Amino acid sequence: MAYLRRHLDERLAYVLRVHPACLIEGIRGVGKTSTATRLAAATLRLDHPPTAATAASDPTAACSSLPAPVLIDEWQRVPTVWDAVRRMIDEDRTPGGFILSGSSRAAITADVHAGAGRILPMLLRPMTLSERHGRVPAVALADLAEHGIEAVRGARSVFSPAEQVAPTTESGLPGNLGMTPADHQESLRSYLDLAVSRDLDDVAPGARNARKLRRYVRAYGAAVATTADHATIHRAADVAKATGETYHDLLDRLGVVEELPGWSSNRFKRLTKRPKRHLVDPALAAADHYETAAVLDGRRARLGELFESVVVCQIRATAEALGLGWRFGHLRSAGGDHEIDLIADLPDGGVLAFEAKLAPSAGIADARHLAVLKDRLGDAFRAGLVVHPGTVAFRLADRIAAVPLGVLV
């Protein structure tokens, strides 16, 4: 299978020209090795037992005997290589020495934070719409931040409405691309089974009830794009509070859970701090509930929640891969009278806001919450976008536009 371009590619190449080492994190199967291998001169695969044994006996020799950049794949299998790399960087800070890759948040503990300032972390998320199809987004998010809705007006999506909704049930894990829908969903359920039975041992070795943990994952997936409280999820999973909190922490460290924090501003009173619940890939939630495209066609509310999760996860993935420095949250007033699905705080103090709308177009009524935010924030409000699976972007009001998802990600 030919390599499909990732948003992270350009930034990774730049980082290696500036920094001595970088760390690519991400869930299993997200494409870390494929992405890193393209820039590596040599690879040390620590998921290969003989190679891992050699590296464990003398990590410095194993890491220094290969031409740079050296990809140290699955480095957490031999944690002593981290300190070996750190020491080598202290002696020689030449850029482009090492690329380390490992499971998202699973390997980072207090013991390795000494790499700060030496090893730059980057997160690789599941593939966005344009990455899956080998295209480049029509509008760069950096241009949106700088020029507001002028950057998107008239932009057309190269993807059909069906293609833009497809990520609700089709995963962005590269190994699943091209599968039949039935095989795709079976593969995702198997992925979750392995995550709780095997991958979590990399996070926290020890005995745990895999059946209860799978129930918790399924209950969490039912709450995607909602602000359901922990107690609601615990009841649905039939687990005790302490057990559920432990499971949540494990899944967060594994990178399966991708929560969106509540946004705060002194321009609004009584905003909820409860996060919106998301998984790293919304299709995992759909597969775990046997929700095919045909099933969801008759469950529009659930499809709308999954589409919102797609919008949130893919905009977030694109901005983070490009290193834009945006900070994300969602807005919900305590009474529920104002809600915005995704808000990005920009490094320069500006704000972008996004509302997901499951319809091939959008009208001014769909932008009412964005209009309130614009009035409250004044000049800090850079742009508000109603993101839909339609064809063309167009202006709705001052600094507010409707834009197809396929234009942005």
Q: What is the pLDDT of residue 105?
A: 56
Q: What is the pLDDT of residues 104-119, one digit of tens each?
A: 554 554 345 455 568 9
Q: What is the pLDDT of residue 114?
A: 53
Residue 86 CA: distances (Å) to CA of 17, 267, 374: 18, 45, 46
Instruction: Report the C-alpha gap between 309 and 393 in whole angstroms.
Output: 20
Share of the chain above pLDDT 70, in %: 95
224: its two tokens:
């995607």
User: Can you name the residues that pair with 401 across neighbouring β-strands?
Assistant: 385, 395
Are 335 and 324 spatial neighbours (Cβ–Cβ below 8 Å)? Answer: no
Are 102 and 76 spatial neighbours (Cβ–Cβ below 8 Å)? Answer: yes
∠ CA(7), CA(12), CA(15), 5° rounding? 140
Q: Where in the chain is the domain with CATH 3.40.50.300?
A: 8-123
Count Cα atoms within 13 angstroms, Cβ side, for 302: 19
92-96, 261-265, 351-355: which has the minimum mean pLDDT?
A: 261-265
Q: What is the pLDDT of residue 116?
A: 59
Instruction: Report the C-alpha gap between 23 and 69 in whole angstroms.
Output: 12
The pLDDT of residue 271 is above 90: no
The pLDDT of residue 389 is above 80: yes
Comparing 198 with 357, which gets the higher pLDDT? Answer: 357
Q: What is the pLDDT of residue 272?
A: 83
Are 332 and 343 spatial neighbours (Cβ–Cβ below 8 Å)? Answer: no
> Virtual CA dihedral for 73, 78, 82, 83, nearest 10 degrees?
-160
pTM: 0.93
Q: What is the pLDDT of residue 110?
A: 39
Q: What is the pLDDT of residue 335?
A: 75
Mean pLDDT for the chain? 92
Average pLDDT over residues 41-60: 94
Instruction: Report the C-alpha gap between 176 and 170 in whole angstroms.
Output: 8
31 contacts: CB under 8 Å, gap ≥ 6: 6, 124, 127, 173, 174
Domain 8-123 falls in which CATH fold? Rossmann fold (3.40.50)
Comparing 337 with 22, which gets the higher pLDDT? Answer: 22
Q: What are phi and psi of 7, to 5 degrees?
A: -60, -30
Instruction: Report the C-alpha gap between 9 and 28 in whole angstroms.
Output: 18
Q: What is the pLDDT of residues 10-33, one digit of tens each?
A: 999 999 999 999 999 999 999 999
Q: What is the pLDDT of residues 217-257, one digit of tens each?
A: 999 999 999 999 999 999 999 999 999 999 999 999 889 99
Average pLDDT over residues 386-404: 97
Sign of CA dihedral 406, 329, 260, 36: positive
Tell how strand 21-26 and strand 98-103 pair up: parallel
Model confidence at 278, in pLDDT bands (50, 70, 90)?
A: very high
Q: What is the pLDDT of residue 117?
A: 65
Q: What is the pLDDT of residues 309-334, one digit of tens each?
A: 999 999 999 999 999 999 999 999 87
106-120, 141-155, 282-296, 337-351: which has the minimum mean pLDDT?
A: 106-120
Q: What is the pLDDT of residue 131?
A: 98
Q: What is the pLDDT of residues 165-217, one digit of tens each?
A: 999 999 999 999 999 999 999 999 999 999 888 877 766 767 678 899 999 99
